[in-house]
Structure 1
Amino acid sequence: MTEESNREARRHVEHVSSQHRSAGIDDGSREHAGGPAGAGAWAPGTGPAAGTLEAVAAAGSAAPARPDSESDVHGVQGGDAVAATDAASPELAGAQEYRIDLERIRFSSYFARLSDVTQVVPRSGVGPVMHNRLTHSLKVSAVARVIAAQLAGHEARHRAHLSGVRGEDDATGAIVARLGGCDTVVAQAAAHAHDLGHPPFGHLGERVLDRVARERLGLLEGFEGNAQSFRILAQLDTLGRDFPGLNLTAATRAATLKYPWTRASWIGVTAAQRPVTERPRGVGADAVHGAEKFSAYALDAVEMEGALAAFPRVSEGMQTVECAVMDLADDIAYAVHDLDDFTRAGVLQQAAVAGEFRAWLADVGRFARMAPQELAGSGALRVPGHALEQLWRRLALKDAWIADREAFTAAVHRVSAEVGDALLGVPYDGGIDSERAVSDFTRRWIEHLRTSIVVEERPHVRSGYVRLDQQAWHEVMVLKFVHAHFVLERPELGQPQRGQARVVEDLVLGFDAWLSDRVDAGRAPRRLLEWADEAVAAYFELRGDRPELLSGDTSDPGLRRQGRTRAILDYVASLTDQQAISTHRELTGAA
């Protein structure tokens, strides 16, 4: 069997194995998102699998049988492992294929690279070990697995009802099945892959790459970490064969599409035509430049469309069930696990955190009556209580479908008590008692949040099929506020972050100058030159096949320029933090 036929066989298996995902579908049309919030909703406590971790485990055990270990043949045979699956059993063939997906991501050099990519703040080299993008991804995967197992248990009970084995139907399972199902391995694979595209220095590097690409080099699509993750899976990573990417199943590819659109697809859509409150989360309101967040560049849009086509019952602009699980797990891990780092490192100061929360809670009515101008300006944010009031007003403005003043107040009370008073009340000293306190805090919050799940058949356009219930949603927003206000906005981070931004910008412009040098361009890094050739060829091919996907200058010189810039972004984004620093030193001649 040739390499190309292996690829075709694998794609055939992925669609055969997803037949269970489209049971009951009578047409292939994609529905429009934005049903009434709460329609067809389920919450923990309404079914046997709700509540405790033991119940979650029971839910997972009720799911269809899955292999207990990773594929033994994949490590040797790669795509040939398809031949080892039972073609007469689409369900088992699909399970095998999904495990191959997970293995390919785990063994990817892009995944290993995440061990030296900033999660929130760079490591100092001293003090407690901080999370990086790799450990964060592993924890997201762990949370996603438990949530997915719970949903898979509901789906299994629904299917048992359909087959006559079980008398009572499972409403949640019916929703999950209708939308394409929920496989725990697919959710894990998506969690492993979700941060592959993060460039050096995390979100700071992402913003710099986007700005330089659009403003300095004329690539209107710019750079986006989620789109870069999908590009790695679909194009840049390699198994050493004659096809690009990791050749993943449609289910896994679709599960990584947190923002299933391109940047250009939202160009020209004004706020008057569609208000921010009626747009998917992440789109923003920029009708000139398009979506703020998106999951595919133009070069990879066809690949995105192909993955989404396997889920005809998933509404346009919405995530698949497994993607929603991954996204939710990412929120939970970010909101809770990173507090471990900040507490152990002494970054969070009890006086500042407790002061902000107590001030707001002590005078909620007065803050509610404040005029907007009273809360404006950087000086106002330094007044205790003002920042929390600003947070509430932002939530109420953008997410009126779920934002509730009483629920927000209750969330502030809980976070104030558990973070401001309890967790930070006793300084972390590295001792056993301190470590137990931090670990207990993390365990309780993870348990609470991942059992506060709602499944909706017709979710609000700014939500997803799987989301947190109203109270837990507010609690996560307040936990994220602690990150943003007391860590990311610290003045002492300003100087090193400006230095990191300079490194990223210099790398992009330096490589652009090198590739523009007709005499010396041939000595640029081999991978960069190969990617530039491939990107240019891909842009020309796209102009012939799908010209509507392109933006900017589409003349021959314009497409060559776009291809070269995309390759430079691919190359710089593939570096670790330390590689970026050392490459910058060599490229600029800095001491």
Structure 2
Amino acid sequence: MASVPHAVRTPGYGEWDEERWVPEPPKKAYRTAFERDRARVLHSSALRRLGAKTQVVAPYSDDFVRTRLTHSLEVAQVGRELGATLGCDPDVVDTACLSHDLGHPPFGHNGEKTLDVLAAACGGFEGNAQTLRLLTRLETKTFRANGASAGLNLTRASLDAACKYPWPRSEAPQTSEGKPTRKFGVYEDDEPVFRWLRGAGASQGPGDDVPAPGQSCLEAQVMDLADDISYSVHDVEDAVNAGRFQLRWVREGSQRQRVIEYTRRWYLPGAADDEIDAALRRLEGTDEWVPLVDGTRRSLAALKDMTSQFIGRFSSAALRATREQYGPAALTRYNASLVVPRETEFEIAVMKGLATAYVMTSEERQPIYERQGEVLSGLVELLSETGDRYLEPIFAEDWRLAADDAGRLRAVIDQVASLTDSSALEWHQTLVAGSAFEARLF
């Protein structure tokens, strides 16, 4: 009888990194703990729901536009290869990349902003904090001894890699303007598992360093860069394919200034116009830049090649810079930080600025954003007023077990955040609009 191959742990990781919040019995040896993490996320309902959630262009507006799901798969491909080249366990990076957008609510960043206001009484809403909540509580696989859900019960290394902003809102670092950043990665009532995964109060073995406050592990940095690279080029590709703009438009002075201003305002606060313009000129000067896409197979292929080449350009620049600083050794967890050259940061930001200028801030989109806000506001208001009547069973249970109004509001927010774009519209039409119609009848 042939023996089952034994899974080999990637160098640079130990038992500490493979530890789970809830201990599990030994599993089959042919898979590593990190391979099991990736499989758990890949088979999660939260990942499937991303297929009907907005990336930049709404998923129902075009058969071929990217969704949060396809974006996450592309981020995972970029991150896995980038991380593996540095020495990271590819499955840890892959898991983080697949997970990074799980917490996004319906309607993209517009929905995130709306829910943050609506959830003020229970600590606000942030997509990255919601991701940790999904992985450690809302998804169903493992339970703690007290009967509470432990979510997917991923390893410490994978959870840490998925934490893009490793701090609660109360400990958010200051921006360059001296204000606390609006981004955070954990809600107050999820802090126990967050403190565990960050190693607070635990005794570690040799080399198992506890991170400094606010410090991201290398795998999380790789995930973050892969996300930036992917959406910077893919959002432009989608916008051009959808007919929103052409790259040749930025040759015109006022159009170019519009892109520069949005790039600075959204992504590079304090940067000089000349430096942003120089980054745009570098990209325009490449052989891959496609001024016009006319819908022909050849022009579409050229746009796809530009996307591919720019991903390679940005990834390679970071790899070279990181290796120049740290040498050829395997880089994992907290023994290194990813180095991204300033020129590359500006080039990525300019690509994001293009999509921002022509899609996300387009005047024709504003009524849509307002309607999306009304849908989410109406749902939260109705569900808050009707208790557990309309909540799905798992969220209804959370509502009933909540100790106070803040906990009950969080259960409502969790329910609404779990909806896809289309299901949010359907719930609103059925519950909110239907209730208003019924009230007018009686």
TM range (shorter): 0.7 to 0.9
CA-to-aligned-CA distance 1:533-588 (integer Å, 9 cap, x gap): 34x25xxxxxxxxxxxxxxxxxxxxxx11000110010000111111111111111
Which runs of 5 or more residues in structure 1 are unaligned? 1-12, 23-78, 86-91, 153-181, 267-273, 279-283, 360-381, 458-463, 516-520, 538-559
The 2-side partners of 1:397 and 1:589 are apart by: 42
Structure 1 residue corresponding to 2:127, chosen from 221, 225, 249:
225
Provide the secondary structure at the position in 1 that maps to 2:152: coil
Query: Residue 514 of structure 1 contacts residue 524 of structure 1 at CA under 8 Å; is this kept in 2?
Result: no
Q: Give the share of equivalent positions with the same residue, in percent.
A: 31
Where do 1:83-482 residues align within 5 Å? 83-85=27-29, 96-126=32-62, 129-152=64-87, 182-214=88-120, 218-219=121-122, 221-239=123-141, 243-266=149-172, 276-277=175-176, 285-286=179-180, 291-309=181-199, 312=209, 314-350=211-247, 352-355=249-252, 359=253, 385=257, 388=260, 391-392=263-264, 408-417=276-285, 422-423=289-290, 425-429=291-295, 431-453=296-318, 454-455=321-322, 465-482=337-354
* Equivalent runs, 1:502-521 vs 2, <5 Å: 502-515=374-387, 521=388
In 2: Cα distance, 1:263 partner to 1:407 partner = 32
- The CA distance in 1 between the partners of 2:71 and 2:268, in whole Å, is 30
Match for residue 14 of structure 2? 18
Deviation at 1:485, TM superposition (A): 1.0
Whichever of the two has the greater Rg, that structure is 1
What letter is aligned with 1:410? A
Residue 275 of structure 1: how far off its partner (Å): 5.9
Retained in 2: the 8 A contact 1:116–1:133?
A: yes
2:440 aligns with: none
Moved more, 563-572 or 435-444: 435-444
- The one-letter amino acid paired with 1:345 is A
Q: How many residues align?
A: 399
CA contact (8 A) 1:343 1:428 kept: no
Tell me if structure 1 keeps the 8 A contact 2:268–2:349. no
Counterpart code for 1:200: P
Contact 1:141 1:187 in 2 (8 A): yes
- Name the CA shift for 1:577/1:566 in 2 (closer, same or farther; >3 Å): same
Q: CA deviation at 1:527?
A: 2.6
Q: Is the 8 A contact 1:415 1:478 kept in 2?
A: no
> Closer, same or farther in 2 for the Cα pair 1:96/1:350, shift >3 Å?
closer
How far residue 199 of structure 1 moved from its aligned partner, in angstroms, is 0.4
User: Residue 230 of structure 1 contacts residue 257 of structure 1 at CA under 8 Å; is this kept in 2?
Assistant: yes
Contact 1:408 1:471 survives alignment (8 Å) = no
The Cα shift of 1:21 comes to 6.9
Question: Which deviates more from structure 2 when the two are superposed, residues 336-345 or residues 304-313?
Answer: 304-313
Is the contact made by 1:204 and 1:497 (CA closer than 8 Å) also made in structure 2? yes
Distance 1:386 1:427, change over 3 A: closer
Contact 2:41 2:47 in 1 (8 A): yes
Give the Cα separation in 2 of the matches to 1:123 and 1:470: 34
1:143 and 1:495, CA in 2 relative to 1: closer, same or farther beyond 3 A?
same
The whole-number CA distance in structure 1 between the counterparts of 2:54 and 2:129 is: 18
Question: TM-score if structure 2 supplies the norm length?
Answer: 0.82
Three-state SS of the structure 2 residue aligned to 1:130 is coil
Structure 1 CA distance, aligned partners of 2:112 and 2:261?
29
Q: 1:19 to 1:237 in 2, by over 3 A?
A: closer
